[in-house]
A and B are shown apart, each in its own frame.
Chain A
Amino acid sequence: MESKDHAALAEVFNKDEDRVSWHDETLWWIRQKRDKNVHQLPEWELLRETASQIKFNVLSNLSTYLEQFEKNATCNGIKIHWAADAKEHNDIVLGLLKEHQINRMVKSKSMLTEECGLNDYLASHGIDVIDSDLGERIVQLAGEHPSHIVLPCIHKKKGEIGDLFHKYLGTPSNVDDPQFLTETARQHLREIFLTRRAALTGVNFAIAETGEFVVCTNEGNADMGTNLAEVHIASMGIEKLIPKREHLGVFLRLLTRSATGQPITTYSSHYSKPRDGKQIHIVLVDNGRSVQLGREDFRNSLKCIRCGACMNTCPVYRRSGGHSYHTAVAGPIGSILAPNLDMRKYADLPFASTLCGSCSNVCPVKIDIHQQLYKWRQVLVKAGYAPTVKKIAMQLMAATLASPTLYHAAGKMGRATIKFAPFAVNNKLNPWYKQRDMPAPPKESFGEWYARNRAGSQEPGV
């Protein structure tokens, strides 16, 4: 999978045209729900601007806020751990489970643990992990990863889910009713919640001022897991901090409206202290975030609150599917986060965009996503990570555009080719011809027309 780039993986997804249209329309429908909800708030733009400013403040004082959070959370009886990278995060989680002799854990949604590859790591050490978010459970049963950070199995049809449930959860074959399948998952996971001594969650927001953290779900799976378990482990990227409790008022208004067009998630749970005799552990994870913080052009990506609005609106994401991005966080935001972790492996992602800017327009914290995509392209090409074909093509293009003689000759050749030898471009070797017809060639270039009609009669540009 790692060897294929976004274009190749998108081609696989694009084989099933009906599915592509359905995927595209479903996500656009969610984008429209977002618009409908957002337009009810006249102060929406001020809300986004305020959130953006709070996040700039966070990034510029992150070291102070981290220490403040550690101190306050510790006072509240929460144990803080620090993980420099994915490996250390996974080791800390494994260590905590071993310390309590726990070999089965229930997990609620955490894209960070996807980023760290926690499930596979724990499985290789004999720990059974069950994802409890319905969408995540479905992709887990399918042996896949989430294709969307908020809607993990948005790429799956209900018939496929019915087949999975038939195979693993004993439902009758050919049953694909969402109500019935959800009820089946409810019964199955209830048994899991009641029998697991450890529960892991992600963190949506952590408050430096109070040492508490907030987890948002619609299903209530985080609360079912943590409130029944003895040990609650919360995995958190260091950029999830916000300064004060009152700032939650800003972010909780933005998060779900942007994500799904709901006014708020069903549950916004504030964990401040462990239950009597129980434990809460927070693993603060860097894993490249401090490096990204030092990249002036790209540090704004750390403002992200993981709402997924940029994916729902992206014309490329909607038509290529989340798995084409071969990284835990797909879509536009994932494409500016991933190259920071590994430029070679993710060099293709900033090119998987039309740079239309729709992502930046819907981003609730005003990340300049499309501009960062553009900037990453330049960094990656300069660093030598562009594919050879693209490099040669760009060099040819640069030489042609730099020389008027070459430019005019190339224009003539192009027009003649389309006119007299269309088969030379209307073929499988030309990626522009896929799903498109080539345009009819103009008879002459603007330069030629100008020379014939206006030369000498007027000053150019007047």
Chain B
Amino acid sequence: MSSREKILAAVARNQPEAVALPDLNALKDAAQLAEPADLLEKYITVLTGIGGTAYQVGSYEDITGILNVQFPEGRIVNTVTELHPHHQSHVFEDDIHSLENVELAIIKAHFAVAENGAVWVTEELMGKRVLPFICQHLVVIVPANQVVATMHKAYEQISNRSYGYGAFIAGPSKTADIEQSLVLGAHGPRSMNVFLLG
């Protein structure tokens, strides 16, 4: 008998009588009742609280203007075609290790989550999976009307969409492993800049 058969047989033998799944609607309703009136404001407050920076902008030109001031130097990898011609969208080489010297990565996100400051990004928006992690600084552009209140709403939005890889990203990479002192920029980006567009 293989380990697979052994494990499955032992689990089937020992698991208790079937218990039904709970209905999530009561919880979702309770969470909805507690939603803040202004989701955008809540998102900005939470993101700032976890070390991120939010910019409310009206156009891609506004974004370019801010980026030129904030990130004047270093290698920029941009995956957002709307930022042309100021920032050429990037053609990725086969060897992703060549991304090691990227100063700034610019990507789009599907939506943002007010309760925790996260944005939802899937592989096709990242260009390469490692890009939002290996860069020194990260810029994420998300439509200002795409802010959901909670993770329940987030998964309703994601629904059964297929992706190879996706991540909620909430703020810069951080650690507090040394005596609980918070340090931004553990292994990933030292800053996360979210542009709420529209």
Contacts and interface: CB of A to CB of B under 8 A. Distances in A.
Contacts of A291: 10, 14
A268 B118 contact: yes
B50 A60 contact: no
B33 to A, nearest CB: 8
B80 to A, nearest CB: 20
Given A63-B15, A238-B11, A253 B178 contact: no
B175 A219 contact: yes
B38 interface: no
Contact of B181 (A30, A178, A299): A178
Interface string A249-263: 110110000001011
B176 to A, nearest CB: 8
B102 interface: no
Interface in B157-189: 158, 160, 162-181, 183, 185-189
Contacts of A66: 7-8, 11
Contacts of A82: 2-4, 7
B24 A50 contact: yes
Contact residue range for chain A?
35 or more
A264 B6 contact: no
A228 B130 contact: yes
Interface stretch (B53-61, B66-74, B81-89, B147-155): B147-155
Nearest to B46: A263
Given A189-B187, A270-B163, A291-B10, A246 B156 contact: yes
Given A228-B130, A266-B170, A290 B187 contact: no
Interface in B81-129: 96-97, 100, 113, 115-118, 128-129
A157 interface: yes
B22 A50 contact: yes
Interface string A340-377: 00000000000000000000000000000000000000
A395 to B, nearest CB: 34
A60 B196 CA distance: 44
A268 B160 CA distance: 18
A238 B13 contact: no
B183 A179 contact: yes
Contacts, number: 252
A149 interface: no
B37 interface: no
B187 A193 contact: yes
Interface stretch (A133-141, A316-324, A382-390): A133-141
Contacts of B177: 133-135, 138, 151-153, 182
Contacts of B154: 249
A218 B7 contact: no
Given A246-B156, A270-B165, A224 B188 contact: yes
Contact of A293 (B14, B19, B20): B14
Given A57-B20, A152-B177, A286-B10, A220 B187 contact: yes
A222 to B, nearest CB: 9
Nearest to A56: B19
B96 A266 contact: no
Given A181-B178, A249-B152, A60 B15 contact: yes
A448 to B, nearest CB: 52
B133 A227 contact: yes
Contact of A134 (B14, B164, B178): B178
B30 A238 contact: no
A83 B155 contact: no
Interface string A279-299: 000001010001101101001
B167 A59 contact: no
Contacts of B16: 59-60, 296, 299
A53 B150 CA distance: 20
A173 interface: no
B53 to A, nearest CB: 14
Contacts of A29: 180
Given A42-B30, A293-B15, A182 B175 contact: yes
Given A253-B150, A266-B174, A286 B186 contact: no
A67 B20 CA distance: 18
B186 A186 contact: yes
A46 interface: yes
B39 interface: no
- Residue of A132, A194, A224, A264 with most chain B CB atoms under a 10 A cut-off: A264
Contact of A270 (B26, B166, B186): B166
A186 B179 contact: no
Contact of A42 (B6, B20, B34, B133): B34
21 contacts: A29-B180, A42-B30, A43-B31, A59-B15, A60-B18, A62-B11, A66-B8, A88-B3, A135-B175, A138-B177, A153-B178, A182-B183, A223-B167, A228-B97, A238-B11, A267-B170, A269-B167, A270-B163, A270-B165, A272-B166, A294-B13
Given A158-B179, A249-B151, A264-B168, 20 more contacts: A54-B22, A57-B18, A63-B8, A138-B178, A161-B178, A178-B178, A182-B183, A182-B185, A218-B175, A219-B175, A223-B133, A224-B134, A228-B134, A245-B158, A266-B50, A266-B172, A268-B118, A272-B164, A272-B166, A273-B164
